[in-house]
Amino acid sequence: MRSPELESILDCWVADRHLSRRKLAFLQTIYNQTFPGMANPGTAAAHYCEALELPQGSTWTQAMATLLDHLDPLPSPERRLVDVTECLVDQEVVSREWAEDAYDKCL
């Protein structure tokens, strides 16, 4: 699910640790169009995973979810990252052990 638009948004956030309201709304739109379908989420680039404190090998959808959780949190205790990762476990894209490791690092 790699796209130039998503990479551009992540690049802006990595550089400034801030997104405009317009870019945040666009990120939310991309996320809403991607999750929960996630046919082939693809692996996010390592430098995005590092910046978002995600384990290497995280998907683009997990990167989007993590950034949205940071910039526009859901009411506690809900987390987009958990929803996405559980869906990936159900689809057997990632293992339960990998998911638990991700939760330990990110939550």
Before 36, cis peptide (omega within 30)? yes
Structural domain total, the chain: 1
Amino acid at 71: L
Specify the pLDDT at position 43. Answer: 92
> With pLDDT > 70 as the criterion, what percentage of the chain qualifies?
96
**Per-residue model confidence as pLDDT tens digits over 44-82:** 999 999 999 999 989 999 999 999 999 999 987 889 999
Specify the pLDDT at position 12. Answer: 95
Contact 41, 88 (CB under 8 A): yes
Question: Whole domain around residue 8: which residue ranges?
Answer: 4-106
Contact 55, 49 (CB under 8 A): yes
Specify the pLDDT at position 76. Answer: 77
pLDDT at residue 1 is higher than 90:
no
Mean pLDDT, range 86-101, rounded to an integer: 90
